[in-house]
Amino acid sequence: MSTATELLTAIKDVGTDSARGGYSRHGFEAPELELREWFTAEAGKRGLDVEVDRNGNIWAWWGAPGPDALVTGSHLDSVPGGGAFDGPLGVVSSLAAVDALQAKGFKPGRPLALMVFAEEEGGRFGVPCLGSRLLTGATPAEAALALKDRSGDTFADAVKAAGLDPSRVGKDEEALSRIGRFVELHVEQGRGLVDLDAPVGVATSILAHGRWRFRFTGEGNHAGATPMTSRHDPMLPASQLVLSARWAASSVDGSRATVGRIEPTPGGTNVIASTVDVWLDARAPNDGRTRSVVERITAAAKQAARDEGCEVTVTEESYGDAVHFDSELRDEVVSALGKAPALPTGAGHDAGILAGHVPTAMLFVRNPTGVSHAPAEHAEPADCEAGVEALAKVLEKLVG
C-alpha cells in the first residue's frame, strides 16, 4: 500500500531537465516511456490487467474490461520544464486509491480501469490531449500522424518506435464504448482552493481553448550591413503579435492569450531572421469570445506584417470549445465526499475531451503556489492524501 507522495517520490528523478528546470517528459520520448513502464509495473503489482490501446493510451483493468466501466486517470507527460504534479498526481492517486480500496477488501461491482493518456500536454507534437482526441475522433488519424516534433520526427514515427502500429491510430469506438463514466484527479492550476481553504474541490467547467501558429516571412540579411530603411524583418510583426495578445485578451472578458514559444530561423544574433514562427494559445469562457480575441490579434499581426513588407500565414493547430461538466455526476461526486467546493479551471484536460462523449467529472487538489506548468507547481503531502481519500470514496460510490 503506497501513498501518492511515495509514488511521486519513486519517479522524482525521471525526466528532470537541468537546462530548463523542472521536468521535460514528452510523449513517447525516453522519460515518458520509462514512466509508462513504471506505471505498468505498479498496476501489475496490484493485480490489474494492463493493455495499450491503438492510440497509445494505457488502460489498467481491475476486473474484466467494460462496458459501462468507471474509468479514472490522467497523464504522465509534461510541458517543457514543467512541474511534478500536472498529470502524475492523477495517475499516482489512482494507484493509491486502488491500494486503499484493496486494503479494505473492496470488490468493484462493475469494471474499473485506471488510464494514462498519451501526449496530453502537446509538448512534443503541439496538439494537446492527443491521446483522448484520437480515441474520440476529435483529431483525425491522418492529421495526427503527420504532426512533427522539433526534430522533424512525425507522430507516426513516434508511435512506431513505441511499438504501436500507425495504421491503427485513430477513432476507437470499441475502446471508447467501454467508458461509462470518467473521473480525473488533477493538481489545481490556480489558487481557488487556497482561497476557499479546502484541500479538494470539484470542477465545473473548462475554458474554450485553441492554439494557432503564425509564420512571418521576411528577408534574411546581415545585422550590421543592412540599413534600417531596407529591412523586411519578420521579428517586427512577431513582436506586435506578442503585444497584441496582451492587449486583446485584456479587452475581452474572461479571456487569456499567451505567446510561450517563438522560433526565428535561422536564429543568429547577427542575422535578420528570414522567418519567425510564433505560437499563440488563446482561451475564453466561450467560443465567440475566444474567436474574437484571436481575430483581433490576427488583424494586428497582419497589419504589422504589411507595414514591414513581410508575409504571414496563420494555422489553427487545435481547438476545443468550452466544457461544462455533467452536473448529475458532479452531484454524485460531491455527495460521496460529503462536501467539496466547485470551481472552474482555465487549464485543459483529457476529461474535457471525454466530456463530449460520457459523463465526466474532475477532482482538484489544492496547490499552495497556484503555479502550474512550471517547477514551482506544488501540492502538500497531506493534501495529496486528502485527494487519494476523496478519489477512493468516489470510486467506491460509483462502482459499488
Binding mask 286-305 for Mn ion (x = CB under 5 A): --------------------
Asked if 354 is part of the footprint of ligand GLV (rule: CB under 6 A), the reply reads: no
Asked if 128 is part of the footprint of ligand GLV (rule: CB under 6 A), the reply reads: yes
Q: Which of 347, 361, 362, 391 binds ligand GLV (CB under 6 A)?
A: 347
Asked if 87 is part of the footprint of Mn ion (rule: CB under 5 A), the reply reads: yes
Q: What end-to-end distance do the CA atoms of the chain give, in Å?
A: 21
- Please identify, among the stretches 86-94, 107-115, 147-155, 255-263, the one whose residues bind Mn ion according to the rule CB under 5 A: 86-94
- In this structure, what are the phi and psi dihedrals at residue 87, rounded to the nearest 5 degrees? 105, -70
- Residue 118: Cβ within 10 Å count: 31
Nearest to 150, CA basis, from 32, 261, 8, 270: 261
- Residue 261: Cβ within 10 Å count: 15
The site partner of 348 among Mn ion, ligand GLV, none (C-beta below 5 to 8 Å per kind) is ligand GLV
Q: Rounded to an integer, what distance in angstroms lies between the CA atom of residue 158 and that of residue 156?
A: 5
Beta strands in the chain (DSSP E): 49-52, 58-62, 69-75, 112-117, 179-187, 200-206, 208-217, 221-222, 256-265, 271-272, 275-284, 311-320, 323-324, 342-345, 360-365
Strand pairing partners for 114? Answer: 60, 72
CB of 347 to ligand GLV, least distance (A): 4
Asked if 15 is part of the footprint of Mn ion (rule: CB under 5 A), the reply reads: no
183 alpha carbon, distance to own chain's centre: 15
The site partner of 233 among ligand GLV, Mn ion, none (C-beta below 5 to 8 Å per kind) is none
Asked if 121 is part of the footprint of ligand GLV (rule: CB under 6 A), the reply reads: yes
The CB-nearest residue to Mn ion is 86
Nearer to ligand GLV, 309 or 346 (CB): 346
Asked if 80 is part of the footprint of ligand GLV (rule: CB under 6 A), the reply reads: no
Nearest to 86, CA basis, from 355, 377, 348, 361: 377
Nearer to ligand GLV, 136 or 217 (CB): 136
**Looking only at residues 176 through 215 of this chain, which bind ligand GLV when binding is defined by CB under 6 A?**
none
Helix H segments across 46-150? 88-103, 130-136, 141-146
The site partner of 87 among Mn ion, ligand GLV, none (C-beta below 5 to 8 Å per kind) is Mn ion
Binding site for ligand GLV (CB under 6 A): 121, 128, 347-348
Binding site for Mn ion (CB under 5 A): 86-87
